[in-house]
Structure 1
Amino acid sequence: MSDLIVVGFPDSGTADRALSELVALSKEYLVELDDAVIVVRNAEGKIHIKQSVNLTAIGATSGLVTGGLWGALVGLLFLNPLAGFAIGGALGAGAGALSGSLSDFGIDDTFIKNLSDTIPNNSSALFVLLRKYQPEKVLEELQKEGFEGKVLRTSLSPEQEQKLQEALSHHVQPQPAA
């Protein structure tokens, strides 16, 4: 089972930095991300949503490969595999892009849009869906990096949510190099 965590940040760039830190922690196997979305509200109040998984591009790529292979096989029957590959690849890429844009993965888009209406101008929010994570180590890293944010929504237990909020509330000053 995955845990959903939504953290709001007082500026527009911190959510990007926090996601970068979580990606770095995933390379150390401290956290396993299912999905992540960054929402930024600019000074005029316009909302920008950045998905970490581009389903349209993934669908187009897989459709291109699958369609190209099937097109080449059918093209062999008509003694023109290159034309079959080109036509099959184009049709497959189009169908894959369409199916990717219509599918929903991870965090529900309606939930993201509804919650992003609540964040103030010149701020950001990070939506993460975590499959597995090491809470103590992840919280320690977040404290070291000095992220200041507010937990907006979560599916964590009340104790875990309190620990996360404490980690995001206490800004730790970096120690000067000796």
Structure 2
Amino acid sequence: MATLTAWKFSTPQGADIALEKLQKMQSEQLINVQDAAVVSWEVGRKKPKTRELHDTKKAGALGGGFWGLLFGLIFFVPILGLAIGAATGALFGSMADVGISNAFIDDVRQKVTPGTSALFLLSSDAVVDRVKSEFSGAEAELISTNLSADQEAKLREAFANED
């Protein structure tokens, strides 16, 4: 089963660094990165920069349309305000059908701000102990996941800030 997670990093480069580590671990067969997208937001910019890991030939890849819709709802709809009205409600509803709730969108919107970055990851087959050791002390915050409560608690523990 694929896991969709969203991670926040305390620097604009943090998500890119994490994705590079994950791609290296994938080449070592420690995780299967099915799809990913990075949001980086430099201080002083009005909006974040997004980048998708395009390999839609892979089984389970979400594709640019999904990421574009998700990032549009999170980062750009607030800028447009109520100008798009009912269409926004329909989009929120369609995202809820795939497990992306209004609460998730609001949570990401509040946490991913200028000076931070986020990694949105669809993955499977992780060798959890090896992934955990690779990211020890990475100062990443798990924003959302479709993991069970027990699995989520273990991930949060693994990525906790170790001062």
Q: Same fold (TM over 0.5)?
A: yes
- Select the residue among 37, 59, 66 that pairs with 1:108: 66
The Cα RMSD (Å) is 2.3
Does structure 1 conserve the Cα–Cα contact (< 8 Å) formed by 2:30 and 2:126? Answer: yes
> Residues of 2 paired with 1:131 and 1:23: CA distance?
13
Does structure 2 conserve the Cα–Cα contact (< 8 Å) formed by 1:34 and 1:106? Answer: no
Alpha-carbon offset, residue 140 of structure 1? 1.8
- Any unmatched runs of 5+ in structure 2? 75-104
Runs of 4+ with deviation above 4 angstroms: none
Q: Which has the higher contact order (CA 8 A, sep 6+)?
A: 2
Task: Within 5 Å, give how 1:14-93 maps onto structure 2.
Answer: 14-43=14-43, 44-53=45-54
Larger CA Rg, structure 1 vs 2: 1
> Residues of 2 paired with 1:161 and 1:132: CA distance?
15
Q: Scaled by the length of structure 1, what TM-score is found?
A: 0.62
| Secondary structure class of the residue paired with 1:153 | strand
Q: Scaled by the length of structure 2, what TM-score is found?
A: 0.67
> Residues of 2 paired with 1:107 and 1:15: CA distance?
21
- Select the residue among 147, 151, 164 that pairs with 2:142: 151
- Any unmatched runs of 5+ in structure 1? 59-103, 173-178
Tell me the number of residue pairs that the alignment of Structure 1 and Structure 2 aligns: 123
The CA deviation string for residues 111-161 of structure 1, in whole angstroms up to 9 with x for no partner, is 244245331111000011003211222112211xx3101111111111121
| Secondary structure class of the residue paired with 2:159 | helix
Give the number of the structure whose residues are more often helix, by fraction: 1
